[in-house]
Structure 1
Amino acid sequence: MTKSIVCLQPLTSRQQESILDAAPGYTLTLGDAKKPDLEVLAQAEIVIGWGKGISDTLLHPDSPFRWLQTWSAGVEKLPLERLEQRGIILTNASGVHAEPITAVIFGFMLIFTRNLHTAIRNQQERNWHSDGTESELTGKTAVIAGTGSIGSETARIAKAFRMNTIGVSRSGKPAPGFDQVYTTGQLTEAVSQADFIINTLPLTDETQDLFNADVFGACKSGAYYINIGRGATTNTEDLMAALNSGRLAGAGLDVFETEPLPSEHPLWGMEQVVITPHCAGSTDRYADRVVEIFTANMEAYLKTGTPSRNVVDYNRQY
C-alpha cells in the first residue's frame, strides 16, 4: 500500500526529489497551509507544516497520521495536548534559524555599539554629527538565555569578537562557546553581569513573562536587551519601564506579545529601540534546511520508527 506525505509549504523540484529519495514507497503531495485539502490530509501518514482547521481531520481516530514535522522551531500554537494523546511524533525546525538569527543578533549589537541607528536618523536629516559615545564589542559580556542551536552559534561568533559569554539554560549544564552557564533560576544573577542580554527562548509555561521587572531591575545600568525568541517571554510594560528609566540603554526586538505590533504602540517611537517584523529567522535557505532535517529524520523513521533529530518533548513544550 502506498503511504502518503503531505507538505503544506512550497517546495522546489529538487527539494521534492530529496524527500522522495529518502522515502521509498511514499507519495508526496504539496498542499497549501492557507487552503488545506482535507481529503488529501485524511490519507496522510506524515505531514510537513501546519494549517488552520486541519486538527480534526488529522487527529480523527481512523486517521493514518503518525508524524508531524513543523515548518517552525516554535510549537506553542499547535494542539500539543491532542497530538500527545494520539501519540503523534512531533519534530520541529530547530537549527534552521541559527545562522540568520545570529546575524540579526550581531546586527543589533553592532548598531548599538557603533550608534548606527542614530547615524541613519542623522543621515535622513542631512546632519553631520556624532556624540562620541561609540564603543566596541571586545571585552563586553553577552548573557544568552538559551544554549540551543541559536544560542550556541551566537556564543561561537561572540568569541570572534573577543566577548565574554554567559549562558542561561534550564539545566545549567556547560555548553560549547560559553564561559559559564547558569540555570534559569539564576537569571537575575546572570543578567547583572551583562552588557547585552540576548533572549533566544521558546515560549513555554515556564518562560511566559520570564523577562519582567525583577529581571530588568537586576540588569546593570546601560545594558541592552535583544529578543529574537518569542514575544510573550517578555513583559512589554516592564521592558518599556526599564527603557524609559535608563536602566536599559536600548533594545533590539524582533518578536512581540502582539503581532503585528500595533501602529500606535509606544515602542515604535522610542529612538533607543530597533524593531524588525519577526523576520530574524527568514532566509532564502530556509526550505533547504527544513528538507535536510526531514530527510535525515525520514531515514531514521524508516529504520527505527522514530525520527532522530528535533523530536519535541511534550512535557517541556520544545
Structure 2
Amino acid sequence: MSKRLMLITQNIGEAYTQQIKELAPDFEIIVGKDKEILAPFAKEAEIVVGWKKDLEKLSLIEGSNLRWIQSWSAGVNNMPLQTFTENGILLTSANGVHAYPISETIFALMLGLTRKVHTYVKQQQQKEWHHAQMNLEIHEKTIGIIGVGEIGKETARIAKAFRMNVIGVRHSGIAADNVDEMFTPDRLHKVLPKCDYVVITLPLTDETDGMFGLEEFKRMKKTAFLINIGRGEVLVEDELINALQENVIAGAGLDVFAKEPLEKSSPLWDMDNVIVTPHTSGSTEHYTKRVIEDIVIPNLKHYLKNENPSINLVDYKKGY
C-alpha cells in the first residue's frame, strides 16, 4: 500500500518537517514553494498546507485525493470555496496568527496619524522644522473595533493601556474582555458617531463587501480616523477618497486595498491625511512558528484520529 501524501507549500525548515513526519509516519511529506516540486504530487495529495492558486487546476480534478487544506493565511475569500464545498474538502485558516503584529500595526497607524509622525517623516526628508499643528492624543478617546475576533480582542486589550473607551461590533454580539459595549452589525450606524477611531478587522464576505461607503463615513465624526487592516473591498474606495478629500473624516490608515498593489494613479498616495502600508500588517518573524505549532500540528493530530480539524475550521456558509 502506497503512502498517503501531504504537500507543504512553504519552506518551514527541517525541524518542523521532521516533527510532522514523526507525527504522521503514514504520510509522504513534500515540502517546497516551487510549482515544479509540487505539480507531480498535486492530484495524489490528501492534505495541503498552504494553498496556492496553481494547485486549483492540478488538484481539484476528477480522481483527486484532496481532503483537507490548511490555509497559510487568515483570509480565504480568494479561494474556490464553492468547489471545496462540493468536493467535501475541509478548510482551516491561519486565523489568530496575526493578533500581535496586526494589533501593533493598528496602533502604529493610530499613533502616526494622531501624533503626526507621518507628517514629520516627510518634513525630515525636506529638512523642515515645523510644528504642523499637532495637538491630538489617543488617551481616553473612544475606539470602535468593527470585527472582534482575535485581532480585535488584542486591539481592545492594548486600547485599555491608553485608557480608551472600547466599543465593539461583532456578528454574534457576544461580550468580550476589554470591550465596554458590544453591538451587532445592524447597529453600526449607531456606533460610528461615538468613535474617535474606527478600526476595521473584518474578513471579506457577502455581508461585508462594500459595508463602508459614503453614508457610513458621514456618520463618523469629522475628527475621526479610519483604520482598515481587514480587506480592501470592505470599503467603497472611491467614496473613501471623496470623504478624505472633502474632510468628511479626519484621516485614514490603510493596509489593504480593493486592488493590490495600489495603483500609482490613486490619490491616496499623495494625501497628507492618509498613511498607506503595502498589506504588511500581518508580517512577523514568528509566522511559521505560530502556524505550525498553534494550528497545523493540533489540527493534524485530530485529523489522524479521523476527526475534523478543530482549530479555525471554515464555515463555508459564512465564508470564514
Bin for the TM-score computed over the shorter chain: over 0.9
Cα-to-partner distance string for 1:252-280 (whole Å, 9 max, x where unaligned): 00000011001111111101100000111
Residue in 1 that maps onto 2:273: 272
CA distance, structure 1, for counterparts of residue 221 and residue 183 of structure 2: 17
Residue in 2 that maps onto 1:253: 254
What does 1:237-248 align with in structure 2 at a 5 Å threshold?
A: 237-248=238-249
Task: Kindly indicate whether residue 122 of structure 2 is the aligned counterpart of residue 121 of structure 1.
Answer: yes
Compare 132-141 and 242-251 and name the one that shifted more: 132-141
CA distance, structure 1, for counterparts of residue 282 and residue 258 of structure 2: 17
Letter in 1 for 2:85: E
Task: Kindly indicate whether residue 103 of structure 2 is the aligned counterpart of residue 102 of structure 1.
Answer: yes
CA distance, structure 1, for counterparts of residue 253 and residue 285 of structure 2: 23
Q: CA deviation at 1:34?
A: 4.8
Work out whether residues 44 and 65 of structure 1, in 8 Å CA contact, stay in contact via their aligned partners in 2.
Answer: yes
Cα-to-partner distance string for 1:268-313 (whole Å, 9 max, x where unaligned): 1101100000111011111111112100111111224210100000
Work out whether residues 115 and 134 of structure 1, in 8 Å CA contact, stay in contact via their aligned partners in 2.
Answer: no
CA distance, structure 1, for counterparts of residue 167 and residue 35 of structure 2: 41
Task: Kindly indicate whether residue 295 of structure 2 is the aligned counterpart of residue 308 of structure 1.
Answer: no
CA distance, structure 2, for counterparts of residue 65 and residue 246 of structure 1: 51
Q: CA deviation at 1:41?
A: 1.3
Cα-to-partner distance string for 1:21-51 (whole Å, 9 max, x where unaligned): 3323222101326556332111111001122
Work out whether residues 224 and 250 of structure 1, in 8 Å CA contact, stay in contact via their aligned partners in 2.
Answer: yes
CA distance, structure 1, for counterparts of residue 22 and residue 215 of structure 2: 52
Q: CA deviation at 1:226?
A: 0.5
What does 1:1-318 align with in structure 2 at a 5 Å threshold?
A: 1=1, 2-32=3-33, 34-35=35-36, 37-292=38-293, 293-318=295-320
Q: Secondary structure at the match of 1:100?
A: helix
Q: CA deviation at 1:240?
A: 1.1
Q: Secondary structure at the match of 1:181?
A: strand
CA distance, structure 2, for counterparts of residue 317 and residue 90 of structure 1: 11
Q: Secondary structure at the match of 1:173?
A: coil
CA distance, structure 2, for counterparts of residue 87 and residue 36 of structure 1: 26
Compare 102-111 and 35-44 and name the one that shifted more: 35-44
Give % identity: 43
Q: 1:35 to 1:202 in 2, by over 3 A?
A: farther
Compare 123-132 and 101-110 and name the one that shifted more: 123-132
CA distance, structure 2, for counterparts of residue 22 and residue 144 of structure 1: 39
Work out whether residues 299 and 311 of structure 2, in 8 Å CA contact, stay in contact via their aligned partners in 1.
Answer: yes
Q: CA deviation at 1:129?
A: 1.5
Q: Secondary structure at the match of 2:259?
A: coil
Structure 1 moving runs of 4+ over 6 Å = none
Work out whether residues 113 and 275 of structure 2, in 8 Å CA contact, stay in contact via their aligned partners in 1.
Answer: no
Question: Structure 2: where are the runs of 5+ without partners?
Answer: none
Work out whether residues 69 and 92 of structure 2, in 8 Å CA contact, stay in contact via their aligned partners in 1.
Answer: yes
Q: CA deviation at 1:133?
A: 2.9
Letter in 2 for 1:285: H
Give RMSD over aligned pairs.
1.4
Question: Structure 1: where are the runs of 5+ without partners?
Answer: none
Compare 20-29 and 304-313 and name the one that shifted more: 20-29
CA distance, structure 2, for counterparts of residue 84 and residue 156 of structure 1: 36
Cα-to-partner distance string for 1:82-118 (whole Å, 9 max, x where unaligned): 1001110100000111111111000011111211111
Cα-to-partner distance string for 1:128-172 (whole Å, 9 max, x where unaligned): 221443322111111011110111110111111111111111121
CA distance, structure 2, for counterparts of residue 191 and residue 137 of structure 1: 17
Compare 255-264 and 25-34 and name the one that shifted more: 25-34
Work out whether residues 34 and 52 of structure 1, in 8 Å CA contact, stay in contact via their aligned partners in 2.
Answer: no
Q: 1:95 to 1:221 in 2, by over 3 A?
A: same
Q: Secondary structure at the match of 1:252?
A: strand
Cα-to-partner distance string for 1:44-96 (whole Å, 9 max, x where unaligned): 11001122232243223322211000111111111110100111010000011
Q: 1:273 to 1:33 in 2, by over 3 A?
A: farther
Cα-to-partner distance string for 1:203-261 (whole Å, 9 max, x where unaligned): 11110010111111110111000000100110011111111121211100000001100
CA distance, structure 1, for counterparts of residue 138 and residue 35 of structure 2: 43
